[in-house]
Amino acid sequence: MRVRVRLFGPLRDVAAKAEGWRELREGDCVGDLLASMRGEGGLPAEMLAASAVAVNQEYAERGRVLMDGDEVAILPPVSGGGCES
């Protein structure tokens, strides 16, 4: 099965090449996908660990089982709003 990986913000800056469709095994979950991406290098482990994952535009846990055609977005900590933080 295939899922579409999207990256944003600082993650895309360092790993734009990791975006796009990827082949997974049936039954693979979000955590499996992240582990395989980490294994290939290019995606800094500490950035991945601090990131959230969304499957089809909804936040998903690492154990969420992926389905063919899913859109998986890896989201670094968000920084919207003004500068008042």
11: helix, coil or strand? helix
Amino acid identity at 63: G
Report if residue 81 touches other proteins, rule: CB under 8 A.
yes
Output the smallest distance, CB 43 to other proteins, in A.
13
Applying the rule CB under 8 A, the residues between 24 and 63 that interact with other proteins are 31, 34, 48-54, 57-63
Q: In what order do the strands lie in the sheet with 52-55?
A: 20-23, 2-7, 71-75, 52-55, 58-60
Q: Contact residues for other proteins (CB under 8 A)?
A: 6, 8-10, 13, 31, 34, 48-54, 57-63, 73, 75-85
